[in-house]
Structure 1
């Protein structure tokens, strides 16, 4: 059995005593080992000034002695095994890290007495009023005027007088009919335009009627702000993107109340600053609500048909490109008619799928480069109204009797005329 020595140091003594432990087998039980302590010698401690540090720990030195003693079996069995630390699972590591960081933050917030350094304000935190972006009105290089556009325009306009399209009876201009207050008439027009995006006129018109009933019989800005989102969503549930449009309607109503005196603005730039309002809606709202033809409202029909007619070289890819091209050469007095005319033409004759080129006069006159041969036997017939020539107007004027020209009755046939 190896012997060990223990060195103890007192903070008051200047000498160091060394004690050695010796082991021996018990005389009564050979399986028991006895330990005895024996002081060897005292050694002077070094000076405290020269010692870098003092330690109060008990140091144990184990020395192996070469003797013929056989260690006990229990000593051989008691061998401490070094175990590798168990790896913490990733989930537990994350939880432990979260607890540690939260504890450190809580401790720092409670223990710190110094004034915290001010946080740098981000750009998003600074509330700066945003100026509405100006809607472009002209191209740097105007688009050339397409050939034969006047003849084509006149032919489409003549065809539009012979049938009734959905836009004629259920378009956005019909939303203001049921309103009496001028502000409400303008606002109802704007609401109808916001709902018409990616939606047919029939569904838009029904949604406007449902929304008017849900808001108490009139579409007002105050009623839109006070209404719950669920009420608005139920009224416009059949229009496209109804959830997003509900948010736009609420946000736009709040902005109209706070910035525009609860009325629809009269410029395209201010209208486009409203959530969910683009150039097409802005120019149509100005035409219907304020009777201003400041630009062309280009929707999918106008964009598609003008490209089919070859009015854009090269073909435009977006409605905004189509609008700028048209505004560069189309006379301004036609800005208010082209949208309504082409939308109805696209709803009945020049439909997106299987257009009715068989009944289109542009195909007969050779004015449409995209015309094709269509089999109309299995197609539903289009009901055209007959255009009758109005009889000539007869104007009757009576001359006043003067002294120079008096009325002389005709001679009676029974009396002979004087010679």
Structure 2
């Protein structure tokens, strides 16, 4: 065994090691290197075929359209192993309105919303309202004005319709408005109308005697102070006899096309409590309005009254709500469903 080891050692000693290749000014081709060198210097060296392909002249064919062709002024940023493409200008987006971002401390987060399902509630109510018309759609205060009257008179009609609508069904209010308009409904005419005659025209509107008194007092103020028009701001509308916050905010939206707040009537008050859209349950509509305005995005204020009133007239009714027909039945805290047998 010893002789064999010696023989093997002598053979290894006599073996001639390959010399390291001479450095060339141009790139090496793998085929030109000895096997050991090829293994050692593989990374920075091309094969002959790769070099020949890379040295070909550029093609005259049009380049393939990049997925980023619509983007101009781009730059690449290396983040670890990933390459991020930063776009400065996207022509397709030039029609997007310039919306100023809200300060970080004003951005609403989930904790600001009393119920995390509120947006799904809203979308479902929109869908139900689109499929099932309600009395408010055709007989609400915005439908009470005479389309043939001038704008000033139409605004007065809207205000009168709102004053009559308190705790009264839209159908009853609409019929009373038809009787009043048949008598030429203007502040000057209403001011001079005998109170007994006005009461007869208003009946069976709820609290028609009180409302007749308020209408005459309001008409006198409008004639003396506003040239038979109605005030164009919340502060002065609330000074009119018989006009509360709900009426004032709805009047500003429908008569003056200005959103100043949410009109909360008995329907909005009831549904907001049932859906737990309030941080604390409320007993009065005005308390409900304050809470809703504290978190509900302002762009939704314009539609929430009309949306919930119609929903309350058709599905989420006061005494026996039709929970089985409601799309929110599985996410409504107040849903009353028949027990499964």
Give the TM interval when normalised to the shorter protein: 0.5 to 0.7
Instruction: Tell me which stretches of 4 or more aligned residues in structure 1 moved more than 2 Å.
Output: none
Alpha-carbon distance in 2 for matches of 1:193, 1:267:
16
- Who is 1:229 aligned against? 195
Alpha-carbon distance in 1 for matches of 2:230, 2:300:
24
Asked whether 1:337 is paired with 2:306, we answer: no
Asked whether 1:320 is paired with 2:286, we answer: yes
Alignment of 1:239-250 (within 5 A): 239-250=205-216
- Who is 1:270 aligned against? 236
Alpha-carbon distance in 2 for matches of 1:352, 1:288:
26
Q: CA deviation at 1:179?
A: 4.1
When normalised by structure 1's length, the TM-score is 0.53
Task: Confirm or deny: 8 A CA contact 1:356 1:374 kept in the other structure.
Answer: no
Alpha-carbon distance in 2 for matches of 1:230, 1:144:
52
- Who is 1:382 aligned against? none
Which residue of the other structure, out of 154, 158, 174, is the alignment partner of 2:143?
A: 174
Alpha-carbon distance in 1 for matches of 2:338, 2:288:
28
- Who is 2:159 aligned against? 190
Which residue of the other structure, out of 311, 320, 338, is the alignment partner of 1:354?
A: 320
- Who is 1:144 aligned against? 112
- Who is 1:254 aligned against? 220
When normalised by structure 2's length, the TM-score is 0.65
Alpha-carbon distance in 2 for matches of 1:362, 1:158:
11
Alignment of 1:93-104 (within 5 A): none
- Who is 2:252 aligned against? 286
Alignment of 1:15-414 (within 5 A): 144-146=112-114, 147-213=116-182, 215=183, 218-363=184-329, 366-374=330-338
Alpha-carbon distance in 2 for matches of 1:273, 1:175:
23
Alpha-carbon distance in 1 for matches of 2:223, 2:271:
38
Task: Confirm or deny: 8 A CA contact 1:357 1:374 kept in the other structure.
Answer: no
Task: Confirm or deny: 8 A CA contact 1:302 1:339 kept in the other structure.
Answer: yes
- Who is 1:81 aligned against? none
Q: Which structure has the greater CA radius of gyration?
A: 1
Task: Confirm or deny: 8 A CA contact 2:279 2:291 kept in the other structure.
Answer: no
Alpha-carbon distance in 1 for matches of 2:338, 2:178:
38
Task: Confirm or deny: 8 A CA contact 1:357 1:373 kept in the other structure.
Answer: yes
Instruction: Provide structure 1 residue ranges, at least 5 long, that are not aligned to the other structure.
Output: 1-142, 376-419
- Who is 2:17 aligned against? none
Q: CA deviation at 1:259?
A: 1.8
Q: CA deviation at 1:224?
A: 0.5
Task: Confirm or deny: 8 A CA contact 1:204 1:239 kept in the other structure.
Answer: yes
When the two chains are superposed, the root-mean-square deviation of aligned CA atoms in Å is: 1.4
Alpha-carbon distance in 2 for matches of 1:279, 1:367:
31
Distance 1:368 1:234, change over 3 A: same
Q: CA deviation at 1:144?
A: 3.3
Structure with more of its chain in helix, by fraction: 2
Question: Could you say what secondary structure the match of 1:225 adopts?
Answer: helix
Deviations 1:26-78 (A, max 9, x none): xxxxxxxxxxxxxxxxxxxxxxxxxxxxxxxxxxxxxxxxxxxxxxxxxxxxx
